[in-house]
């Protein structure tokens, strides 16, 4: 069995190492990555995809996909332990390491302040931002229906991040510091990587690659040399 209590204690300990302010040596970043995790073989296999985009052009310059045997079931609040092994595997395969990573999931907007974006950021020691599609914890004021509507996500007296409607008629995104990025910058960087869709480009590409979507397959046709 899994000692969930020990994992929760580990989260509390690691959360103390998360840096919640900007400490980039060079800003703005030159390469921004999007990271996404999915599953195959009825969950037996965990698949991670990382897409590297040049900033500010947002063109895809590299991507890596890693598949490993799944070791943990999905337990709300303990997601990072299930996903980080595959993320690390994909990370090791990268030729070009990014200056900033958008991780699909929460950052410090987590019950014990250690979502997958924060956990992964600590492991690779790179600035990360959590971009999630659903709330995990915290509360926020009703959001206006217009694109751009924003509300702080708060919990127990502190602001954990933002709830931001990136596009009209779409559910909002939950954006928070992962590691080495401030709450204000987390929102700004995501906003700087939008291209008309609900998700920011780094995340959108990572998802397209992991799921082998048509847009990605078409891009592959134009870049044969990029086929792994």
The tokens for 61 are: 């310059």
Smallest distance, Å, CB 92 to DNA?
Answer: 20
Three-state SS string over the chain comes to CCCHHHHHHHHHHHHCCCCCCCCCCCCCCCEEEEEEEEEEHHHCEEEEEEEEEECCCCCEEEEEEEEEECCCCCCCCCHHHHHHHHHHHHHHHCCCCCCEEEEECCCCCCCCCCCHHHHHHHHHCCCEEEEECCCCCCECCCCCCCCCCEEEEEECCEEEEEEECCCCCCCCEEEEEEECCCHHHHHHHHHCCCCCCCCCHHHHHHHHHHCCCHHHHHHHHHCHHHCC
Residues 141-180 that bind DNA (CB under 7 A): 169
Q: Which stretch binds DNA (CB under 7 A): 54-62, 92-100, 112-120, 159-167?
A: 112-120
Which of 29, 77, 138, 202 is close enough to bind DNA by CB under 7 A? 77
In the annotated binding site, the residues are 36, 104
Q: Which stretch binds DNA (CB under 7 A): 128-136, 153-161, 190-198, 213-221?
A: 128-136
The alpha-carbon radius of gyration of the chain (Å, integer) is: 17
- The reply to whether 190 sits near DNA by the rule CB under 7 A is no
- The reply to whether 54 sits near DNA by the rule CB under 7 A is no
Q: Which is nearer to DNA, 55 or 91 (CB)?
A: 91
- The reply to whether 76 sits near DNA by the rule CB under 7 A is yes
- The reply to whether 128 sits near DNA by the rule CB under 7 A is no
- The reply to whether 50 sits near DNA by the rule CB under 7 A is no
- The reply to whether 106 sits near DNA by the rule CB under 7 A is yes
How many residues touch DNA under the rule CB under 7 A: the total is 29
Which of 100, 132, 160, 190 is close enough to bind DNA by CB under 7 A? 132
Which of 39, 150, 188, 213 is close enough to bind DNA by CB under 7 A? 39
Q: Please, what sign has the CA dihedral across residues 17, 20, 21, 26?
A: positive
Which of 23, 211, 212, 215 is close enough to bind DNA by CB under 7 A? 211
Interface with DNA by CB under 7 A: which residues?
Answer: 36-40, 43, 47, 74, 76-80, 104-106, 110, 115-117, 130, 132-136, 169, 210-211
């Amino acid at each position: 069995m899994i000692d969930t209590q020990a994992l929760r204690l580990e989260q509390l300990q690691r959360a103390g190492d998360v840096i919640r302010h900007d400490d980039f040596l060079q800003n703005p970043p030159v390469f921004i990555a999007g990271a996404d995790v999915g599953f195959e073989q009825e969950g037996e296999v965990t698949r991670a995809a990382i897409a590297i985009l040049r900033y500010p052009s947002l063109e895809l310059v590299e991507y890596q996909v890693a598949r490993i045997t799944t070791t943990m079931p999905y337990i709300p609040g303990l997601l990072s332990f299930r996903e980080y092994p595959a993320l690390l595997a994909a990370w090791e395969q990268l030729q070009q390491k990014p200056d900033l990573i958008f991780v699909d999931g929460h950052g410090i907007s987590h019950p014990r302040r250690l979502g997958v974006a924060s956990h992964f950021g600590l492991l690779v020691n790179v600035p990360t931002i959590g971009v999630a599609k659903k709330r995990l914890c915290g509360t926020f004021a009703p959001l206006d229906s217009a694109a751009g509507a924003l509300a702080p996500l708060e919990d127990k007296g502190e602001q954990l991040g933002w709830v931001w409607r990136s596009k009209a008629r779409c559910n909002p995104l939950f954006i928070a510091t992962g590691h080495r990025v401030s709450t204000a910058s987390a929102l700004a960087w995501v906003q700087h990587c939008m291209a008309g869709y609900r998700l920011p480009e780094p995340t959108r590409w990572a998802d397209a690659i992991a799921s082998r979507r048509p847009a990605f397959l078409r891009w592959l046709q134009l870049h044969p040399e990029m086929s792994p």
